[in-house]
Amino acid sequence: MILIKLGGSVITDKASYLTFRGNVLSRLVDEILYSKKDIILIHGAGSFGHVLASKHNIQNGYSNNIQIPAVAKIMEDVRDLNLRVTRVLNERGLPSASLPPSTVATLKNGELDRLDIDLFYHYLQLGICPVTFGDVALDSERGFGICSGDQLMEILAKEFRPERVIFVSDVDGVFTADPSSDPDAALMGTVDWETLEKLPRTTRCADVTGSIFNKIETMLRIASWGGDAIVLNGNIPGRLESALRGDVVKGTRVRGSTL
């Protein structure tokens, strides 16, 4: 089984509310179709979730009633994005089923506490690709919160032990600094626990699921549960397909300790 995350920064313009990059998604789905293995697909919320969630501080849970309409609107928006993703998958020939975290997962103090794993198994057994995504979910301590794609990746990797984990980003991989603002930023060929402390603790735009540092920390844990793990640039045609073929591609290999 292969676990793939399509980052919100690839399939949307993360800095512009409700901006969908349909052509990019269609191409990436065509590349995914190369693989004949079982796939679980996770996608980020991008500008369909992060903009409003950041504005209303949804990631930190309930604080006032003004947040409630925002919570409902975010869930509407991310389902809109998810419908677009599943529609492309189905049209291109990869039957898919949507599993929104708000209905199959719960949080506890911001951490993913429960996920209905059996549903993922059942859909895979039927030959249907389970698709889940960053969403608002109920939180037993905070009322509600953000269930991120990275949280979902971690628990699914632990359960399914995929032979390959692919993070599809809008950059070539993990850099020593933000490549959009630092001309001296260098691509890191590999990332492991020893290099984690050297990574920048910053993020480029509104992101309610944590900094780049936190994301890489999560990636390292995910890599510990699966096989090969790589961060690659989904804006480069053919790169995802090559990775699915097992070719060596430009990107960052993520090496976690074996668990």
Digitized pLDDT (tens) for each residue of the chain, 259 residues in all: 999 999 999 999 988 899 999 999 999 999 999 888 899 999 999 999 989 999 999 999 999 999 999 999 999 999 999 999 999 999 999 999 999 999 999 999 999 999 999 999 999 999 999 999 999 999 999 999 999 999 999 999 999 999 999 999 999 988 877 777 888 888 989 988 887 776 655 544 344 444 567 777 888 888 888 778 899 999 999 999 999 998 999 999 998 876 5
94 found inside a domain: yes
Structural domain boundaries enclosing 147: 2-254
- Give the integer Cα–Cα distance in Å for 235 and 210: 23
CATH number of the domain to which 111 belongs: 3.40.1160.10
Q: Measuring CA to CA, which residue among 253, 249, 234, 186 is closest to residue 8?
A: 234
By 3-state DSSP, what share of the chain in percent is helix, strand and coil, each rounded to 5? Answer: 40, 20, 40
Cβ atoms 223, 257 nearer than 8 A: no
210 found inside a domain: yes
Cβ atoms 40, 46 nearer than 8 A: no
155 found inside a domain: yes
The structural domain count of the chain equals 1
Secondary structure tally for the chain: helices H, strands E = 10, 12
48 found inside a domain: yes
pTM above 0.85, yes or no: yes
Q: How far apart are the first and last CA of the chain?
A: 18
257 Cβ neighbours under 8 A, 6+ residues apart: 193, 224
- Give the integer Cα–Cα distance in Å for 10 and 212: 15
104 found inside a domain: yes
56 found inside a domain: yes
92 found inside a domain: yes
259 found inside a domain: no
Tokens of 35: 């693989």
Q: Measuring CA to CA, which residue among 155, 171, 37, 20 is closest to residue 81?
A: 20
* Secondary structure of residue 85 in the 3-state scheme: helix
